[in-house]
């Protein structure tokens, strides 16, 4: 396996992306501690915060009451997912004018492969990117950039100096800078894995680097541990391409939508959105998962399906599952969060009809109905037709919610 002798990758991470986009949009928020929340009013949590809020100790996924105790001047702003999507696309266009983008890792992270000229002047390249963002988008949106021999090390490097940082880890300097990084800040070492590593007397990054590749494979119980070893030791290794595993949506419910009846209507909308995404990507599913979070408990179930992608099939399954849930938990529970996931996917080109279910007749009729509905909604740029009622809850953003891992498409907001 090749071990680069120079830096080959750039990793860029926007600082407090959602909150900084809000500050760029509204000058009154600039320089103030900002917390982005799912909706106005009620007991909820911070889903993203600005660097000013972080300086007080406010963190993502912190309850608003606790955040306000830490920072009395915290300004709460309801999420605007479509705004973040448009900001993401604008930023990508500006960065691509400086350097080709290799991989968009999430809505606020991207990676680039360096050519020979870029490897010779990483500081100059980083400054050109930062200046382009500052003068063409706005000074409020900043980014932290890391350079290293591979993408994994570049990501770690970029996280060591935030916000608005620049870190260059040349191979001849390694592993010195990496030894200063806390073990829990290494991508691939989550809370559960940190506990497992502690059982093997690994409590620091230095201890981790002392392990052999096969030891890490045994601890992780799969090839991921061995791949991480090679990445941390500076080898040219990239993550394997991942296939589509599922389509799903979830939502924290506003206070007036926490009854079972109101939550069911939200679940229907989320599932319809997920089915639309699945059809656009040319997939069918064979399973539906439903989960709910109550004030003091959780509930989840899964139902097998024939290979389907139309709204009637998945909504009928949801109705059955909802009645099972209602019978199990009773009618008076309050729902804090609801989520639906279409799983066990099959590409449309590999779908097999089930003659025992009369798929060649009934199912294809419903698919034709779905195609007609999708066409109408695409034509008008919003939901003008749906199977059943379409009544988004207060705050909207059904299926186009704030996301750190998926970049919403414009169609998600129809």
- Per-residue pLDDT band for 19 (boundaries 50, 70, 90) equals very high
φ/ψ bin of 330: left (φ > 0), alpha (ψ from -120 to 50), beta (otherwise) = left
228 and 342 part of one domain: no
Helices and strands (H and E) in the chain: how many: 15, 14
Contacts of 240 (CB under 8 A, 6+ apart): none
Last residue of a domain, one of 171, 201, 221: 171
165 and 189 part of one domain: no
pLDDT of residue 220: 94
Q: How many residues are there in the chain? A: 414
Q: φ, ψ for residue 311 (rounded to 5)?
A: -65, -40
162-176: per-residue pLDDT in tens? 999 999 999 999 999
Lowest mean pLDDT among 36-45, 177-186, 244-253, 303-312: 36-45
pLDDT of residue 414: 53
230 and 258 part of one domain: no
137 and 48 part of one domain: yes
Tokens 């059955």 correspond to: 320
The tally of domains found in the chain comes to 3
pLDDT of residue 399: 52
The domain that holds 94 is classified in CATH as 3.30.70.270
Per-residue pLDDT at 360 exceeds 70: no
Domain that holds residue 311: 247-413
pLDDT of residue 413: 57
399 and 256 part of one domain: yes
The domain that holds 388 is classified in CATH as 3.30.1490.100
pLDDT of residue 409: 62
198 and 134 part of one domain: no
Last residue of a domain, one of 121, 147, 171: 171
CA angle 129, 134, 135 (to 5 degrees): 105
Tokens 């009934």 correspond to: 362
- Residues assigned a catalytic role: 109
200 and 125 part of one domain: no
Per-residue pLDDT at 77 exceeds 60: yes
Task: Pinpoint the alpha helices (H) of 200-259.
Answer: 205-210, 213-220, 223-232
146 and 212 part of one domain: no
321-358: per-residue pLDDT in tens? 999 999 988 888 899 889 999 998 888 887 766 655 65
Last residue of a domain, one of 196, 219, 242: 242
268 and 379 part of one domain: yes
272 and 357 part of one domain: yes
28 and 164 part of one domain: yes
251 and 331 part of one domain: yes
Is there a contact between 34 and 75 (Cβ–Cβ < 8 Å)? yes
pTM metric for this prediction = 0.75
């Amino acid at each position: 396996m090749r071990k680069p002798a120079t830096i080959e990758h750039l990793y860029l991470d926007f600082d407090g992306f959602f909150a900084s986009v809000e500050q760029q949009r509204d000058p009154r928020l600039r320089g103030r501690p900002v917390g982005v929340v799912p909706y106005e009013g009620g007991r909820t949590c911070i889903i993203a915060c600005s660097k000013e809020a972080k300086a007080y100790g406010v963190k993502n996924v912190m309850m608003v009451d606790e955040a306000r105790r830490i920072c009395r001047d915290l300004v709460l702003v309801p999420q605007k997912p479509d705004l973040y999507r448009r900001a993401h696309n604008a930023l990508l266009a500006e960065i691509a004018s400086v350097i080709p983008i290799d991989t968009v890792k999430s809505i606020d992270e991207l990676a680039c492969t360096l050519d020979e000229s870029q490897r010779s002047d990483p500081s100059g390249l980083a400054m050109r990117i930062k200046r382009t963002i500052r003068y063409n988008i706005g000074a409020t949106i900043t980014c932290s950039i890391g350079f290293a021999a591979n993408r994994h090390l570049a990501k770690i490097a970029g996280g060591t100096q935030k916000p608005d940082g620049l870190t260059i880890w040349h191979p001849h300097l390694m592993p010195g800078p990496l030894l200063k990084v806390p073990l829990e800040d290494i991508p691939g070492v989550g809370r559960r894995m940190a506990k497992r590593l502690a059982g093997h007397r690994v409590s620091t990054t230095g201890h981790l680097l002392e392990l052999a590749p096969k030891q890490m494979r045994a601890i992780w119980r799969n090839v991921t541990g061995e791949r991480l070893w090679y990445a941390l030791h500076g080898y040219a290794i990239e993550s394997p391409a991942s296939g589509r595993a599922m389509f799903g949506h979830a939502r924290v419910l506003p206070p007036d939508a926490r009854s079972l009846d109101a939550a069911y209507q939200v679940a229907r909308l989320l599932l319809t959105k997920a089915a639309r995404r699945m059809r656009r990507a040319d997939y069918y599913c064979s399973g539906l998962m439903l989960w709910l979070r109550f004030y003091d408990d959780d509930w989840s179930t899964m139902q097998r399906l024939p290979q389907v992608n139309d709204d009637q099939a998945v909504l009928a399954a949801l109705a059955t599952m909802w009645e099972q849930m209602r019978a199990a938990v009773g009618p008076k529970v309050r729902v804090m969060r609801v989520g639906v996931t279409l799983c066990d996917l099959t590409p449309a080109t590999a779908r097999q009809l089930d003659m025992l279910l009369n798929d060649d007749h009934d199912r294809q009729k419903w698919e034709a109905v779905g195609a007609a509905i999708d066409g109408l909604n695409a034509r008008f740029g919003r939901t003008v037709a749906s199977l059943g009622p379409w009544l988004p809850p207060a705050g909207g953003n059904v299926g186009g919610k704030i996301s750190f891992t998926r970049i919403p498409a414009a169609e998600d907001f129809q």
